[in-house]
């Protein structure tokens, strides 16, 4: 009997032990913390305000990391979906409070319970937005304006990055859509940054119509009223897709915001659903008379989701619409021409002394307000300016290779033709950089010999490094000269468009074998002493096909990269990162470099961190991030302990089984 009981106790307890050991490891593998949106997606210098963060697997939210200086945040509360038993317990608690009569404390407790039920109700429609974290954000008065990266630290590590904007204008926020019908015309004072969301329709006035005509509620339409004076040059710039580039489960694969301007009588004055090739709209409007005006924001096809977050900057704001030239040679000064609205100057001098080849942001200030940023390219090749007339073979502009030509397709339908000589067997590469530098040009290239015979042609060339682009409008072609002689390169706009803003940088040169790297994901969560798998993408240029050697740069002791090579002719490789057994106090930043020898010279390029994002159920994009973050988690899979809920002992009958409710505690003292 004693022996039988001993065996029963041993084998009865064993399944319970296995559950406690296995579950945390599975949890760590499948529950990667993910943020769906932050709202509002920014704030003003010097302000303190609450922020809502929605996502999935945000248990143990404890800290916020915002890139740059001058912004800090404190986590206040985490509300998660309710488990079955806990849901029943809370319902019973509400009944108890109702039976005994509620005082102020009772009403407060019931409100908190209702809040938890509200969070759970979102799980069915949008599981990826099923949890909410509230934090308080403080922005220093001297914080640099512009976009930052926002990450949330939870028990399982760091979340994906989200865009967070530091602004300079007074902030306004639409009424909370959960608290009742939205305000038809929320009054704002210009200039202003307006924050809102286009959520599923919830207006009572729509409900009878919906029952008769549609199976779903129409989406939200937000309107804001403001006073303006005659002659004001208003700019209305919307950020929506810019805040969240891609939605995996939506078509189109982002929030397609539209902006409409009305007068006080409801007459439409201006409308925009995009700005050139950017999905986010921008309006410029000269106010005809003093009075009230209304801005309307909605989705182009009347969708609504909680993650359709937007910011609208409104006022007499400086806005750059184009620059020329789009770049210059490294180490030189360039005087660039500016076009736009409310600009304090028409020219700007850019000094590239000490700058490496790359793309740098350019902006201007007007009355202490910073304009939008424009990309400016820096390269090492000799540069020249396009000279008109050059739209016929007889007037083709002569250039000497290698060269970068800065030019414009102006007027519409214009062609720019360049003449150069090449030796037999020499390779020629022609590449346009325009759309990637914010030019509306949709380029096309054609290479011909002296007799006019076409040797090569290209319209669009995909650049996998341009992760925010969905139309690769820049052209690239390669060819081999069949004989010594003169050759002609023709450049135009495939849609026969043109104008002063249709600028380009045209590189004509022998091949310059090179590469860029992307490392995915941009955040690595790994148990102390453990190993994480990451993917390195090699973006090869001008025919480079050689081996790439990978290594950590200036990494702390204990961080080791293995599988440190992208083989020749391969575009990606799986590598592993091993971390030390003792977690650092804070997540840290790492840099991975790639090296290759080309023509006897060693090329070193950093691996740019990126997120592999899906758009519209099918298309994938590598969206660059600012920083590669590594969060080392205390050993045990996740920094959480499993414990039985309740104080009663668990009895497991011989040869039988018992149900056990298990919760996760984020108390650091219980970590193993």
Pairing of strands 192-197, 171-173: parallel
Are residue 497 and residue 420 in the same domain, yes or no?
A: yes
Assigned domain for 152 exists = no
- Backbone φ and ψ for 588, nearest 5 degrees, come out as -120, 165
pTM (two decimals) = 0.85
Mean pLDDT along residues 353-368 = 95
Mean pLDDT along residues 267-285 = 97
Are residue 178 and residue 304 in the same domain, yes or no?
A: yes
Mean pLDDT along residues 156-163 = 96
Are residue 532 and residue 618 in the same domain, yes or no?
A: yes
Are residue 282 and residue 419 in the same domain, yes or no?
A: no
In the sheet that 588-589 helps form, which strands lie side by side, from edge to edge?
A: 523-527, 629-633, 588-589
pLDDT surpassing 60 at residue 660 = no
Average pLDDT taken over every residue of the chain: 87
Are residue 660 and residue 590 in the same domain, yes or no?
A: no
Task: Please report, rounded to a whole number, the percentage of residues in the chain having pLDDT higher than 90.
Answer: 75
For 618-643, the pLDDT digits (tens) are 999 999 999 999 999 987 544 433 33
Assigned domain for 453 exists = yes
Assigned domain for 149 exists = no
Assigned domain for 71 exists = no
Number of domains forming the structure of the chain: 5
Distance (Å, whole) CA 452 – CA 417: 12
Distance (Å, whole) CA 522 – CA 520: 6
Are residue 559 and residue 570 in the same domain, yes or no?
A: yes
Asked if 128 contacts 40 with a C-beta cutoff of 8 angstroms, the reply is no
Residue 76 pLDDT level (bands cut at 50, 70, 90): very high
Residue 16 pLDDT level (bands cut at 50, 70, 90): very low
Among 333, 348, 379, the domain-final residue is: 379
Q: For 170-227, give the DSSP string.
A: PEEEPPPGGGSSPPSSEE--SSEEEEEE--S---GGGHHHHHHH-SSPPPP-EEEEEE
Pairing of strands 291-299, 358-362: unpaired
pLDDT surpassing 60 at residue 540 = yes
Q: Report CA Rg, the chain.
A: 30
Instruction: Say which residues have a Cβ less than 8 Å from residue 15's Cβ, sequence separation at least 6.
Output: 652, 657
Distance (Å, whole) CA 611 – CA 399: 41
Assigned domain for 530 exists = yes
CATH number, position 528:
2.60.40.10
Are residue 389 and residue 411 in the same domain, yes or no?
A: yes
Pairing of strands 268-272, 327-329: unpaired
Are residue 610 and residue 658 in the same domain, yes or no?
A: no
- For residue 35, the surrounding DSSP H or E stretch is strand 34-39
Are residue 178 and residue 311 in the same domain, yes or no?
A: yes
Residue 53 pLDDT level (bands cut at 50, 70, 90): very high
Assigned domain for 194 exists = yes
How high is the pLDDT of residue 75?
A: 97
**Domain extent for 374:** 319-379
Are residue 618 and residue 647 in the same domain, yes or no?
A: no
Half-sphere exposure at residue 60, Cβ-oriented, CA atoms within 13 angstroms: 22
For 189-213, the pLDDT digits (tens) are 999 999 999 988 644 333 333 333 3
Mean pLDDT along residues 481-499 = 98
pLDDT surpassing 90 at residue 431 = yes
188-202, 267-281, 477-491, 591-605, range with the lowest pLDDT: 188-202
Are residue 375 and residue 398 in the same domain, yes or no?
A: no
pLDDT surpassing 80 at residue 26 = no
Residue 177 pLDDT level (bands cut at 50, 70, 90): low
Three-state SS string over 404-416 comes to EEEEECCCCCCEE
DSSP character at residue 395: G
Max CA pair span of the chain: 109
Assigned domain for 109 exists = no
What are the tokens at 458? 């290209």
pLDDT surpassing 90 at residue 404 = yes
CATH number, position 424:
2.60.120.380
Assigned domain for 501 exists = yes
Are residue 307 and residue 176 in the same domain, yes or no?
A: yes
Among 512, 542, 559, the domain-final residue is: 512
Q: Contacts for 281-285 with beta carbons within 8 Å, 24 or more apart?
A: 281/236, 281/238, 281/257, 282/235, 282/236, 282/237, 282/238, 282/319, 283/234, 283/235, 283/236, 283/259, 284/233, 284/234, 284/235, 284/236, 284/319, 284/341, 285/233, 285/234, 285/236, 285/261
Among 490, 512, 534, the domain-final residue is: 512
Better-predicted residue by pLDDT, 236 or 27: 236
- For residue 124, the surrounding DSSP H or E stretch is helix 104-125
């Amino acid at each position: 009997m004693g022996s039988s009981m001993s065996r029963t106790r041993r084998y009865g307890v064993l399944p319970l032990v296995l559950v406690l050991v296995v579950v945390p490891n599975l949890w760590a593998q499948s529950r990667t913390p993910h943020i769906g949106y932050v709202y509002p997606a920014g704030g003003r210098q010097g302000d303190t305000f609450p922020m809502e963060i929605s996502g999935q697997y945000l248990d143990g939210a404890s800290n916020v990391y915002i890139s740059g200086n001058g912004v800090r945040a404190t986590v206040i509360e985490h509300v998660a979906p309710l488990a079955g038993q806990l849901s029943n317990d809370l319902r019973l608690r509400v009944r108890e409070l109702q039976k005994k009569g509620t005082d102020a404390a009772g009403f407060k407790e019931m409100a908190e319970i209702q809040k938890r039920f509200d969070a759970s109700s979102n799980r069915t429609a949008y599981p990826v937005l099923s949890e909410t974290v509230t934090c308080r954000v403080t922005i220093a008065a001297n914080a640099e304006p512009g976009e930052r990266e926002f990450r949330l630290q939870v028990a399982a590590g760091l979340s994906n990055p989200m865009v967070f904007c530091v602004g300079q204008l007074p902030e306004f926020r639409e009424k909370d859509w959960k608290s009742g019908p939205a305000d038809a015309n929320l009054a704002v004072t210009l200039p202003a940054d307006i924050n809102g969301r286009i959520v599923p329709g919830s207006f009572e006035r729509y409900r009878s119509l919906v029952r008769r005509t549609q199976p779903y509620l129409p989406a939200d339409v937000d309107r804001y009223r403001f006073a303006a004076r005659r002659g004001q040059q208003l700019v209305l710039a919307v950020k929506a897709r810019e805040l969240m580039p891609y939605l995996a489960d939506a078509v189109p694969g982002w929030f397609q915001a539209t902006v409409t301007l009305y007068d006080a009588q409801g007459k439409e004055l201006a409308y925009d659903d995009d700005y050139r090739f950017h999905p986010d709209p921008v309006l410029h409007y000269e106010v005809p008379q003093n009075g009230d005006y209304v801005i309307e924001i909605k989705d182009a096809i009347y969708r609504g989701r909680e993650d359709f977050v937007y910011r609208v900057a409104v006022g007499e704001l400086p806005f750059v619409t184009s620059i020329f030239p789009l770049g210059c040679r490294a180490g030189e000064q360039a005087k660039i021409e500016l076009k736009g609205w409310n600009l304090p100057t028409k020219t700007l001098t850019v000094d590239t002394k000490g700058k490496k080849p790359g793309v740098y942001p350019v902006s201007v200030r007007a009355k202490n307000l910073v304009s939008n940023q424009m990309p400016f390219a820096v390269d090492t090749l000799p540069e020249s300016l396009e000279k008109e007339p050059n739209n016929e073979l007889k007037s083709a502009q002569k250039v000497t290779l290698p060269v970068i030509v800065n030019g414009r397709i102006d007027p519409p339908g214009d062609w720019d033709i360049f003449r150069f000589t090449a030796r037999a067997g020499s390779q020629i590469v022609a590449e346009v950089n325009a759309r990637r530098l914010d030019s509306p040009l949709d380029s096309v290239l054609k290479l011909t010999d002296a007799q006019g015979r076409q040797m090569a042609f290209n319209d669009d060339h995909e650049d996998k490094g341009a992760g925010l682009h969905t139309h690769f409008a820049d052209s690239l072609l390669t060819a081999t000269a069949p004989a010594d002689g003169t050759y002609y390169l023709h450049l135009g706009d495939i849609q026969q468009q043109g104008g002063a803003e249709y600028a380009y940088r045209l590189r004509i040169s022998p091949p310059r074998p090179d590469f860029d790297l992307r490392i995915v994901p941009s955040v690595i969560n790994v148990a102390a002493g453990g190993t994480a798998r990451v993917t390195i993408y090699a973006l090869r240029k001008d025919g480079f096909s050689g081996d790439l050697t990978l290594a950590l740069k200036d990494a702390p002791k204990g961080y080791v990269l293995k599988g440190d090579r992208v083989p020749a002719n391969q575009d990606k490789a799986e590598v592993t990162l091993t971390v030390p057994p003792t977690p650092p106090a804070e997540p840290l930043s790492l840099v991975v470099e790639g090296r290759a020898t080309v023509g006897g010279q060693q090329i070193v390029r950093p691996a740019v961190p990126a997120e592999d994002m899906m758009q519209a159920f099918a298309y994938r994009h590598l969206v660059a991030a600012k920083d590669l973050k590594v969060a080392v988690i205390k050993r045990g899979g996740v920094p959480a302990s499993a414990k039985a809920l309740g104080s009663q002992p668990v009895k497991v009958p011989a040869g039988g089984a018992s149900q056990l409710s298990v919760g996760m505690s984020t108390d650091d003292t219980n970590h193993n």
